[in-house]
Amino acid sequence: MNNFSVFLCLVSVALVVKDAAAQAQNDGVYIVYTGAAASSSTGFGPDHILSSSFLESKRDRVIHTYKKSFSGFAARLSEEEARSIAQRPEVVSVFPDPILQLHTTRSWDFLNAQSKVFKPPTHQTGSGNSKSHSPSGEDTIIGIVDTGIWPEAKSFSDEGLGPIPKRWKGTCSNGPDFSSALCNRKLIGANNYVLDDNFSSPRDRVGHGTHVAGIAAGRVVQGASYNGLANGTARGGSPGSRIAVYRACGPQGCPGSSILKAMDDAIADGVDVLSLSIGLSPLINFSTDPTAIGAFHAIEKDVIVVCASGNDGPKPSSVLNPAPWILTVGATTIDRFFESDVVLGGNRVIKGGGVHFAEHLRKTPVYPLIRGISARTRETTKHNASNCFPGSLDRKKVEGKIVLCESNDEEQHRRRDRVAEVMSRGGIGMIYVNQYGQLVGSVYSAFPVVLVTTEDGKKIRSYIKSNRHTVATILPTEVVSKHKPAPSVAYISGRGPIYDNDYLIKPDVAAPGVDILSTWPSNATNEAFFLQSGTSMACPHVSGIAALVKSHYPSWSHSAIKSAIMTTAIQTNNLKAPITNHLGNPATPDEYGAGEATLFGPLQPGLVYETEISDYLLFLCNMGYDVDQIKLIPKHLPANFSCPSDAKEDLISNMNYPSIAIARFNDSKRKKVKRTVTNVGSEEESVYIASVEMSTDDLKVQVNPTKLHFTKKKKKLSYEVTFKHQNSSSSLSGLAYGSITWTNEKYTVRIPFVVRE
């Protein structure tokens, strides 16, 4: 599990994956997926399978049935039973129930400031399909699939909201600690899908779902802070949107069977946006990934699905939720930094990061400072003690001291376990050396923990080595505002390229995901807020933006909304320089997709790239899926559909997607792709001119035509892009990044490209 999880939170925000097969061995739950809900046309729905002689005596072992937006069921089965059912002709797939894991005062203001090139529209624009709506997104419904909701929070007040949209078909359930009366014109739906749980209720006992819902669509709350830190006004991205909550996750994670059931209901209930801050694995199989399966059926109803890219960065190919029908979001920092400093003997100050309230420590360096390696027990190794692994430290050597802990082995133990080791041995504070750890704040409450860089760790070790009596103190956290540079791609954010698929760029965009303040469960009278970091926090930022766009343009397709968000993303920080990654280098599309999502840009995109259902089906063909595997996935398969005889992976590059990825370029020396754009700008008569930017002189990129002339009758136009070597003797060394931008006097429409050798 990633070490950047919140220490006091009951569930980590890092996305980790338990072995699905092992999980099925423990609880015996399998998902039997039979495809589209329109299975009545074949006569083989879930009821038919359940009534077979094989399962007749096992009906009590069925835990979920799916019959609204797609069909199937989840049941407790033996391996033999699962294998037998999988042989039935009407069954698409049978797979173990996987466990998916969960991956603001300032963030929205920061997005607004960063995207100031885009002005809030004073009137509705577009090609006749816009509608006069409040810019708060009041008529849109965001479905949150997560750990539930804390309905009493002020962020979910319905004060001033109009009637619930008539198209809403969902419900609000009762439970032992949740009444349907707690729903209102803001929180219009709340249901529970976690069955093996101590309580059957939509109430959030973890906090993650409440936090996410507040980011996406929380109402304006004055005076928000976390124990006095990050003071300001909290609000969601689409504060007028309605929220429907589907509790599919508990403290131990999110069963895939529960996620599918939640998505099945949400689609039928009438949500406009589905927000899932969860994920499975970079080793993707679309036929066994509950999120990908549910999302496909969602986009058939033009419900846009927004998911987190995962917290396993900065490793390449760590991105989660890579299906092209999902809008995948990476995480970036904002211009607020939580600084905590170490003061060494001689009043030498080492700047660090972290959130804690160590007011019981004196501000002068009077506390003994020791390295973990010097406090090891006789039974442990120097390596374990140096890293402060559980059970490695001697209480007699640690008690009353501040301990310096290394991070030479990030995989073996989580940071919070190391903090617990220092605390349990009587330490009064901890300095944790991690090159990039301070870039992602962690909350330690009253116990003083400060994260310092590797370089500063060397300075502290040098001080300890050169002095017989070493002392230090840790100062309470202070908020540094207008921090620069920001944004930068978060160290933890899942990166591309997609595992075993270099022909699609993921994540699609990035959004604030570090040190985000949002609402939190509380039994106290005062409103509770909490700080969390992760792509879980980035995802609902984009969900909120998607709801705003849907509110302004209710007839737009899911792909038009995705395109609007991607093509108006920005690539510069608050220093007016390129957005950087955790190393300080310019970020690439593999790290942040098209760039940082903007607040108002997607409301005026000019042109959009629309990806059709047929494009996704061809994508599956080119990924190696055959028609027998594909045919039961969509609700309505196009007549006479078949995979092309020449289907192959590199044809994925031709999908009409708002980004371009080329792979194995040195083998072909030349590659041509096609894209089609639709004019949704306010002017029906408009001319766009193409421009190209790229990272290397070894590549030549040509756009044909270089001008697109739209008229009242010509709203869709196509163009080709040819990639080739600059000369016959050159070859591409590694990667080339760049962009293709179409501009007219009013709009700028940009898509990124990646070319791999």
Nearest to 387 by CA among 409, 403, 411: 409
| pLDDT of residue 526 exceeding 50 | yes
Among 467-476, 622-631, 737-746, the minimum mean pLDDT is found in: 622-631
Q: Does residue 487 have a cis peptide bond before it, meaning omega lies within 30 degrees of 0?
A: yes
**Which listed residue (281, 386, 493, 536) is catalytic?**
536
Measured at the alpha carbon of residue 115, what is the angle toward residues 318 and 605, in degrees to the nearest 5?
85
Residue 150: per-residue pLDDT: 96
Res. 385 pLDDT band, cuts 50 70 90:
very high
**Cα gap 222→41, rounded to integer Å:** 54
Measured at the alpha carbon of residue 131, what is the angle toward residues 126 and 137, in degrees to the nearest 5?
105
Measured at the alpha carbon of residue 679, what is the angle toward residues 675 and 685, in degrees to the nearest 5?
125
| pLDDT of residue 171 exceeding 60 | yes
Res. 632 pLDDT band, cuts 50 70 90:
low
**Which listed residue (107, 115, 133, 146) is catalytic?**
146
Between residues 711 and 7, the one the model is more confident about: 711
Residue 54: per-residue pLDDT: 52
Is 536 an annotated catalytic residue? Answer: yes
Mean pLDDT of 683-694: 95
| pLDDT of residue 89 exceeding 90 | no
DSSP 346: T
Measured at the alpha carbon of residue 262, what is the angle toward residues 518 and 627, in degrees to the nearest 5?
125
CA-based R_g, the chain, Å? 26
Amino acid 698 reads: D
Mean pLDDT of 564-593: 96
H-type alpha helices, 183-277? 208-217, 256-269
- Are the C-beta atoms of residues 277 and 513 closer than 8 Å to each other? no
**Which listed residue (103, 133, 208, 541) is catalytic?**
208
Taken in order 253, 256, 261, 267, is the CA torsion positive or negative?
positive
Residue 251: per-residue pLDDT: 84
Residue 129: per-residue pLDDT: 47
Amino acid 500 reads: D
**Cα gap 237→250, rounded to integer Å:** 25
State the pTM of this model. 0.88
Res. 438 pLDDT band, cuts 50 70 90:
low
CB atoms under 10 Å from CB of 131, counted, come to 12
Mean pLDDT of 516-526: 83
Give 257-312 as a DSSP string. HHHHHHHHHHHHHT-SEEEE-EE--SS--TTT-HHHHHHHHHHHTT-EEEEE--S-
- Say how many CA atoms lie within 13 Å of 144 toward its Cβ: 37
**Cα gap 26→79, rounded to integer Å:** 12
Among 38-52, 457-471, 504-518, 542-556, the minimum mean pLDDT is found in: 38-52
Residue 732: per-residue pLDDT: 79
**Total H helices, total E strands in the chain:** 17, 35
| pLDDT of residue 133 exceeding 90 | no
Res. 317 pLDDT band, cuts 50 70 90:
very high
Mean pLDDT of 324-337: 95
β partners of residue 352? 340
Residue 106: per-residue pLDDT: 60
Report the mean per-residue pLDDT for the chain.
87
Residue 111: per-residue pLDDT: 67
Residue 254: per-residue pLDDT: 92
- Are the C-beta atoms of residues 154 and 179 closer than 8 Å to each other? no
- Are the C-beta atoms of residues 662 and 701 closer than 8 Å to each other? no
Among 268-272, 406-410, 447-451, 732-736, the minimum mean pLDDT is found in: 406-410
- Are the C-beta atoms of residues 619 and 651 closer than 8 Å to each other? no
| pLDDT of residue 119 exceeding 70 | no
**Cα gap 603→132, rounded to integer Å:** 13
Cβ burial of 404 (10 Å; 0-12, 13-18, 19+) is buried
Nearest to 537 by CA among 322, 714, 277, 750: 277
Cβ burial of 360 (10 Å; 0-12, 13-18, 19+) is exposed
Q: If residue 86 lies in a helix (H) or strand (E), which one and from where to where?
A: helix 79-86
- Are the C-beta atoms of residues 678 and 716 closer than 8 Å to each other? yes
Res. 666 pLDDT band, cuts 50 70 90:
confident
Res. 12 pLDDT band, cuts 50 70 90:
very low
Percent of the chain with pLDDT over 70: 86
Residues belonging to the chain: 757
Query: Per residue in 33-65, pLDDT tens?
Result: 876 654 444 444 445 565 554 555 555 788 888
The token duo for 306 is 């927004």
Cβ burial of 307 (10 Å; 0-12, 13-18, 19+) is buried
Mean pLDDT of 734-738: 91
β-strand pairing of 748-756 with 242-247? unpaired
DSSP 220: P
Residue 91: per-residue pLDDT: 81
